Amino acid sequence: MTVLGLSCFYHDSAAALVRDGEIVAAAQEERFSRRKHDPSFPRGAVDYCLQEAGLDASELDAVAFYDKPLLTFERLLETYVAYAPRGLASFLEAMPLWLKRKLWTPDVIRTELGDYDGPMVFSEHHRSHAASAFFPSPFERAAVLTTDGVGEWATTSWGVGEGNGLDLKAEIHFPHSLGLLYSAFTTFCGFRVNSGEYKLMGLAPYGEPRYVDAITEHLIDLKPDGSYRLHADAFTFPVGLRMTGRRFEELFGGPARAPESPLTQREMDLARSVQVVVEEAVLRMARHVHAETGETNLCLAGGVALNCVANGRLLREGPFERIWVQPAAGDAGGALGAALVATHEWAGLGRTVHPADAMRGAMLGPAWGPEEIRAVLDAEGLPYHEAPTEAALVDRVAGLLAEGSTVGWFQGRAEFGPRALGHRSILADPRDRATQRRVNLQIKFRESFRPFAPSVLAERAGEFFDLGGPDGLDPSGPESPYMLLVGPVRDARVEGDGLERLGRVESAVPAVTHVDGSARVQTVTKERNGLYYDLLKAFEAQTGCPVLVNTSFNVRGEPIVHAPADAVRVFRRTHMDALAIGPFVVTREALPEAERQPFTAEQIAEAYGLD
């Protein structure tokens, strides 16, 4: 039983291939097209998944799509009618795309897949999210909670997964949406929806929660059981091309921040305030779901499940004993969820529970062999050193990191999901606070306030980070293999207010300690992470520190690198000191003098656009 799952036409399109219940491949289209959050049909991702499985489309048993377009169209029409004549401009802009393509999704898919004439399965959007969370999880049974902007009608759902089935018991419907509430503040603070939410979360620790009362009084009615209703008249997203309007300006002291303009204390306080409200909503929902289901394990997906600060509180404060978050929790993961719905619920195939999980460390994307990489380096005329063994490679790279170098690390299969987990990563030594500013401004070309995440040997994670949880049996604490949990850095000290906190962080690993003394942790094991674990061990042997800065291998405005040529391009255009790609190591100092001049921030913005 082989199923191809698809998500597309909104944002973050993707494909995933599942064979007999096992995940063979999954990839997001933006990696192939080099267009961030690419919504188009995932041509490149589909071709890769079929190639990885050794199939052509005619050999598929089913194709699954991650939502039901007619239900979404129904929601749009009912919303326009309810608010008419407001929303006419938005209606006129949306309809051509619906009439030409989205309403014809089955035909578009068959045309794109060429010779496929088998069955097509359409799963509701939140069922796809729920399936992506539960079926790959390490649990035989668990409660499931999904929260995002909006699917067809649902914005939040919860239920129970058991064996190869899902029973979704309740939903909250549009326009009441926790994800859209967060996105409204994202755009009001001058960031882009569907990409700037990470920035808002990173900005929150610089602020104070002085707008919480205004939000809960005027924007959202949050009930004790976590259910909620937005005061829809305070938002413009149901009818407009913008998410907020005059009501936000009245409540929060003036117009929205213009993109790229200086950040003020107001934006920091707004970020902190909405973060507090969202965390409280997630905690209340989880307590309600726990009380209703009696389950001890919880699975999460949907865009709000990428709020790792809320996830960290959920784990530390309970009531669930264990939580598991789909690493591709956003819409890209819907492709995988749809494929799993078709496999287990439509076809009735049994499910095998894997003790770790079924995601293979999220390493589900393409890989390149040494000779393919060598050909790229030769074509670029780059001088390189070839490590004779993997042990020699990690020793060399660990030495570079210990000397303070930043290293682009391109190894093995690419990750599925928004996080770099040690296969398409930029790495650095976390013991120097200056690393945070240097990597932000000279390599990533992004805002200086944004934090970096640590990778840490799982067996030593508990020495540096407090992820909490009730797992008293494991001295290293709970696992966080997908960098989706935030917890306190042990013995961290932070002083000052607002942005001045950036320079007043003290801890054993200051480059990965955010200004509230926290970190978004990735725990690394030999079983799940292989060579990356070996690198951390080599760095530990040379420095005594089992932690590395790990950030995604890209620059601002660009998707994470996909092919070796992408990695080489980022290396050339930034201040990165070295590139470890397959068995080859390229250092900047080995480049001819004329080739050591990286791009400026303005040139990067011109080449990739702003995120």
Q: Delineate the domains of the chain, giving CATH numbers in brackets.
A: 2-127+331-358 (3.30.420.40), 178-322 (3.30.420.40), 364-608 (3.90.870.20)
**Catalytic-role residue among 11, 126, 129, 514:** 11
Contact between 209 and 278 under an 8 Å Cβ cutoff? The reply is no
Q: What is the mean pLDDT of residues 410-434?
A: 96
Residue 152's CB is within 10 A of a number of other CB atoms, namely 19
- CA dist 503 and 515 (Å) reads 9
Mean pLDDT of the residues in the chain: 93
Q: What is the mean pLDDT of residues 437-449?
A: 86
Q: What is the mean pLDDT of residues 324-335?
A: 97
- Token code pair at residue 260: 């790229």
Local confidence band at 594 (pLDDT 50, 70, 90 cut-offs): confident
User: Which pLDDT score is estimated for 472?
Assistant: 38
Backbone angles phi, psi at 457, to 5 degrees: -55, 130
- Token code pair at residue 507: 């801890």
Whether 72 has a pLDDT exceeding 90, the answer reads yes
User: Which pLDDT score is estimated for 473?
Assistant: 40
Backbone angles phi, psi at 25, to 5 degrees: -160, 155
Please tell me the total number of residues recorded for the chain in this structure.
611
- Where does 29-164 show beta strands of DSSP type E? 62-65, 120-122, 141-147, 154-162
User: Which pLDDT score is estimated for 469?
Assistant: 57
Any idea which of 90-94, 150-154, 168-172, 353-357 has the lowest mean pLDDT? 90-94
Look up residue 13 and give its DSSP letter.
Answer: -
11 catalytic residue (yes or no): yes
Give the pairing type, strands 228-230 and 141-147: unpaired
- CA dist 272 and 493 (Å) reads 19
- pTM for this model (two decimals): 0.94
- CA dist 32 and 282 (Å) reads 34
User: Which pLDDT score is estimated for 477?
Assistant: 63
